[in-house]
Amino acid sequence: MNYLWIVIGCFLAGPIWSQGEFQTLIHAQAGELEAKVIEWRRYLHEHPELSNREFETAAMVTKHLEGLGLEVRQKVGYTGVVGILRGGKPGQTVALRADMDALPVTERVDVPFASKVRTTYLGTESGVMHACGHDTHVAMLMGAAEILAGMKAEVPGTVVFIFQPAEEGAPPGEEGGAELMVKEGVLKDPAVDAVFGIHINSSTPVGEVRFKPGGALAAVNRLVIKVKGKQTHGSTPWTGVDPVTVSAQIILGLQTIVSRQMDLTKEAAVISIGKISGGVRSNIIPEEVEMIGTIRTLDTEMQADIHERIRRTVTHIAEASGATAEVTIEKGYPVTYNDPALTAMMGPTMKAVAGVDNVILTRARTGAEDFSFFALEVPGLFVFLGGMPAGQDPATAPPHHTPDFYIDESGLALGVELYANFALDYLLLAK
């Protein structure tokens, strides 16, 4: 008889109620499941699917959850899968979320399970790769579901497993992601009291867990600016209105919003123009220039203020040169906000599972996450799990969304433990 079943046998002798007892059992089971979780992850990595196209991933998740005896709902938020575990004891309802989609990135990592999938994305041929670690999230949550399903009789409440599509954004013209799942009622039936999410991180050492109360990840808004001038010959610019030079002035003006107009001791903010296009040849001043960029903010009041300052700055600079400008700021994702009380409640859980020295309070990041839509509805906690090999310099670790993105799988068992313990500890403490 191995260690796992000795532990289980001890617990079957009496009711499981203390956090410490749950944590010991979950640790043993996560170790037993580690090889299976890695196998799932490798299969998903080798067979990635883009946003709102996660059909095979959803089928794999569905089969697993049904095999565990869970109530399963399919096609939630287009391709999303939701598993519901109704525990044997009364209590609140907690949700655990994993995202499923991959990216249009061609993999360069030399591993046996590297993706060879090809696609045409927005008219351009590309590889498809789990270049953000969503394959690990799915595998870890599948593992947590298996552990919790095996403890169903002792679970004091309900656990909702949310396998979410399209975190990277739905294709043009489609809805998707967390926002659509919320709209379709994923947090309403049953009514969820708290939600937890985990994200693997390629520059955080294996074994570490990083978190931040309050604004943890930035709100993101896509910015489109169209500057309209008057077309003319390049040799006589005074006979027209040059939208190219106006656009250059606008780009510089936008940077002063952050550097000279915002209180950056409160929270960070970023305005970046990533694309500028206009004109057809060297000796023609064009009629119109389009700029596309991104706005990142960590505070909702600052977000509204920055949006207003962008509109004012752009339109006034254009008017000063006789041009006009249209500003479109798309909805995007809100700030990913970690509820301070929930974060404090789960602090001991993280330390017990990962070790006191491995739980690190971190600064906010200017990346964005659509987990934020869940956390707008109910208290949420979103943490980062180490995926960088021990001893590697974080500065040399390939970033997310790149062809060389790499995750050390030895950290996945810890992710399984975190998911399961977040659920059980919350349900125990919320009674």
Q: Would the pLDDT of 15 be above 50?
A: no
Name the amino acid, one letter, at 317. Answer: I
Strand partners, 338: 214
Q: What is the pLDDT of residue 20?
A: 77
Residue 1 inside a domain? The answer is: no
Residues 294, 207 share a domain: no
SS3 252: helix
Indicate if the pLDDT at residue 17 is higher than 60. no
Residue 96 lies in a domain: yes
User: What integer pLDDT is reported at residue 403 of this predicted model?
Assistant: 98
Same domain, 133 and 106: yes
Of the chain, the percentage scoring pLDDT greater than 90 comes to: 94
Report the SS3 class of residue 301: helix
Q: Characterize the bridge pairing of strands 194-205 and 380-388.
A: parallel
| Domain of residue 49, CATH code | 3.40.630.10
Q: How far is Cα 211 from Cα 196, in angstroms, rounded to an integer?
A: 12
Across the range 294-322, mean pLDDT stands at 97
| Mean pLDDT along residues 258-281 | 95
pLDDT at 320 over 80: yes
The pLDDT of residue 319: 98
Report d(CA 219, CA 230) in Å as an integer: 36
Do 61 and 179 fall within a single domain?
yes
| Spatial distance between the Cα atoms of 141 and 98, rounded to a whole number of angstroms | 7
Residues 182 and 274 grouped into a single domain: no
**Is the predicted pLDDT of residue 4 greater than 90, yes or no?**
no
Phi, psi of 15 (to 5 degrees): -65, 145
3 pLDDT higher than 80: no
Selection from 338, 333, 391, 378 nearest residue 361 by Cα: 338
Give the pTM.
Answer: 0.90
User: Is 82 part of any domain?
Assistant: yes
Looking at the 3D structure of the chain, how many domains does it have? 2
Give residue-wise pLDDT tens across range 380-404.
999 999 999 999 999 999 999 999 9
Q: How confident is the model at residue 18 (pLDDT cuts 50, 70, 90)?
A: low
Contact 281, 377 (CB under 8 A): no
- What are 97's strand-pairing partners? 162, 197
CA distance 267 to 233: 46
Specify whether 228 is located in the same domain as 212. no
Q: For residue 3, is it within any domain? A: no
Mean pLDDT, rounded, for 395-420: 98
CATH number at residue 297: 3.30.70.360
Neighbours of 39 (CB within 10 A): 12
Mean pLDDT, range 14-36, rounded to an integer: 83
In a domain, 21, yes or no: yes
Average pLDDT over residues 182-191: 98
Q: Which of 312, 329, 346 is the last residue before a domain boundary? A: 329
Tens digit of each residue's pLDDT (9 = 90 or more) over 58-115: 999 999 999 999 999 999 999 999 999 999 999 999 999 999 999 999 999 999 999 9
In whole angstroms, what is the distance from residue 323 CA to residue 246 CA? Answer: 8
Same domain, 285 and 199: no
* 33 and 68 belong to one structural domain: yes
What are the catalytic residues? 333, 409
Rounded to the nearest integer, the mean pLDDT of the chain is 95
Same domain, 358 and 404: yes
State the Cα–Cα distance between residues 103 and 402, nearest whole angstrom.
9
Instruction: Give the pLDDT confidence score for residue 431 in this predicted structure.
Output: 76
Task: Identify whether residues 223 and 211 lie together within a single domain.
Answer: no
Nearest to 283 by CA among 232, 249, 239: 232
Start-end of H helices in 47-188:
55-67, 134-150, 177-183
Name the domain boundary from 276, 302, 329.
Answer: 329
Contact call for residues 28 and 10 (beta carbons, < 8 A):
no
Q: CA nearest 160: which of 217, 80, 100, 214?
A: 80
Q: Is the pLDDT of residue 11 over 60?
A: no
pLDDT at 145 over 70: yes
Q: Is residue 284 part of a domain?
A: yes
Last residue of a domain, one of 280, 313, 329: 329
Quick one: average pLDDT of 275-304? 96
The angle subtended at Cα 278 by Cα 274 and Cα 281, nearest 5°, is 130
Structure tokens at 431: 């009674």
- Rounded to an integer, what distance in angstroms lies between the CA atom of residue 335 and that of residue 364? 10
Task: Say what the pLDDT of residue 324 is.
Answer: 98
The encoded tokens of residue 36 equal 């299976």
Cβ-proximal residues to 142 (8 Å cutoff; 6+ apart), any chain: 37, 40, 61, 64, 65
105 with 119: CB under 8 angstroms? no
Are 320 and 374 contained in the same domain? no
- In this predicted structure, the answer to whether residue 5 has a pLDDT above a threshold of 90 is no
298, 364: one domain = no
Q: Report which of 161, 224, 219 is spatially closest to residue 187, judged by C-alpha positions.
A: 161
Identify the weakest region by mean pLDDT among 11-20, 234-243, 414-423.
11-20
Q: Both 312 and 369 in a single domain?
A: no
pLDDT the model gives residue 372: 98
Going by DSSP bridges, is the β-strand pair 209-211/380-388 parallel, antiparallel, or unpaired? antiparallel
Q: How far apart (Å, rounded) are the C-alpha atoms in residues 66 and 149?
A: 11
Q: What is the pLDDT of residue 183?
A: 98
**Within a domain: 10:** no
Q: Which amino acid is at 154?
A: E
Q: Which whole number is the average pLDDT over 359-373? A: 96
Domain containing 137 equals: 16-217+335-429
Cα–Cα distance, 8 to 144 (Å, whole number) = 16
Which of the four pLDDT bands, split at 50, 70 and 90, describes residue 198? Answer: very high
Torsion of CA 248, 251, 253, 257, to 10 degrees: 180
| Neighbour-count burial of 368, counting CB atoms closer than 10 A to its CB (0-12 exposed, 13-18 middle, 19+ buried) | buried
Confirm whether 157 is domain-assigned: yes
Read off the amino acid at residue 213: P
Is 166:51 a contact under the CB 8 Å cutoff? Answer: yes
Q: Report pLDDT for 16.
A: 44
Residues with Cβ within 8 Å of 93's Cβ and at least 6 positions away in sequence, in order, are 157, 158, 159, 160, 190, 191, 192, 193
